[in-house]
Amino acid sequence: MKKEKLFVQFFLSTMIMLLATTGASAQVTIGSGKVPESFSVLELISEQKRGFRLPQMNSAERDAMQATFENRATTEAMGLMIYNTDTSCAEIWTGTEWICTGDGDNTNPNSNAETFWLPSFSLPWSTVTNDPATEIETVDLFTDIYQPAFGATMHSAPTYFTSAGADFPVVVPGHEPNTTVATDFYYVITKYDPEIIEIQSLTETGVLTYKKLVPVPPYNAFIKILLVRKI
C-alpha cells in the first residue's frame, strides 16, 4: 500500500513537472539540442540530410478537408498548408481559396507564365449621342482579344514569329489552345483613364462593360489589362 502511494505521488510529481516545462517552453527544436532562436516557435534540424514533407493529398481530398472548416475557414484554418499531388504544388489556404506557392505543374514550358498582358487593342467606340443607351459598350476580352492573339486560330496562321524554343500560343497547363476557356483566367484592369471611360462591370468570363464619357477618345488614351492564369 505504501509503495502504491509513493508511485502515485511520483507519477503526479512527474506529470506536474512535464506540464510546467511544456507551458514554460513554447519553442521547440527537433533533430538537435540547439536552443531555438528567439523568433522561432519550431526549428527542424536535419544536418542537410532530410527535408520537411507536407501532408500529401489530391484536389478532391483537399476539398473534402476544406468542407470541415465550416465557420473556421477565415480564422483558425488560415495558413494551412498541403502538397497537392494533382497540381504538383504546395498550397496555402488564404481564408477564401487555395493558393499555389510555386509554379505548380511545370510540364508545360509556359507554366511559369502566371500572368501576362493582353496585346494592344482598340475599345469598341460607337458615336455618342443624346441617347444614354449609346454610351454603354461591351467587349469580350477572351473571345475578341485573347483568342485572336494567343488562341487556336493563331496556331496555324503564319502571322507571328517567335525566338528559338518559344512555345506559342501561351496556354494553360492541361489545356490545348482549342480547349482553353474564358474561366481559365482572372481578368484584372490595372490602369485606365476615368475621365474617358467608367467601368460598369467585368465578369469572370472576361466581358467588360463600360460607359463612354467623351465623344471620341484621345489618341494617347489606353487601358492595361492583365490576365492571371488560374491554378
Average pLDDT over residues 59-79: 89
Q: What is the pLDDT of residues 126-145, one digit of tens each?
A: 776 666 556 889 999 999 98
Give the model's pLDDT for residue 82. Answer: 92
Q: Helical H runs in 139-231?
A: 147-150, 152-155
Spatial distance between the Cα atoms of 119 and 101, rounded to a whole number of angstroms: 27
Burial 81-113 (b: 16+ CB within 10 A, else e): ebbbeebbbebebeeeebebeeebeeebebbee
Q: Cell 521547440 identifies what position?
A: 28
**The amino acid at 51:** G
pLDDT bin (cut points 50, 70, 90) of residue 22 is very low
Say if residue 180 is exposed, middle or buried (CB neighbours under 10 Å; 0-12, 13-18, 19+).
buried
Q: Give the β-pairing of 224-229 and 185-191.
A: antiparallel
Task: Evaluate whether 185 touches 173 at the Cβ level (below 8 Å).
Answer: no
pLDDT bin (cut points 50, 70, 90) of residue 56 is very high
Give the model's pLDDT for residue 38. Answer: 81
Q: What is the pLDDT of residues 106-133, one digit of tens each?
A: 444 344 446 778 888 888 887 766 665 5
pLDDT bin (cut points 50, 70, 90) of residue 168 is low
Task: Evaluate whether 58 touches 66 at the Cβ level (below 8 Å).
Answer: no
* Lowest mean pLDDT segment, chosen from 79-83, 118-122, 206-210: 118-122
- 189 vs 168, higher pLDDT: 189
Spatial distance between the Cα atoms of 94 and 203, rounded to a whole number of angstroms: 23
* Lowest mean pLDDT segment, chosen from 20-34, 63-77, 127-141, 209-223: 20-34
Give the model's pLDDT for residue 36. Answer: 83
Three-class DSSP category at 231: coil
pTM above 0.85, yes or no: no
Spatial distance between the Cα atoms of 175 and 107, rounded to a whole number of angstroms: 12
Q: What is the pLDDT of residues 169-185, one digit of tens each?
A: 555 444 455 567 889 88
* Lowest mean pLDDT segment, chosen from 27-36, 59-68, 113-122, 149-158: 149-158
User: Is pLDDT above 90 for 210?
Assistant: yes
Q: Helical H runs in the chain?
A: 2-24, 59-66, 147-150, 152-155
Domain spans of the chain? 56-100, 115-156+166-229
User: Is pLDDT above 90 for 65?
Assistant: yes
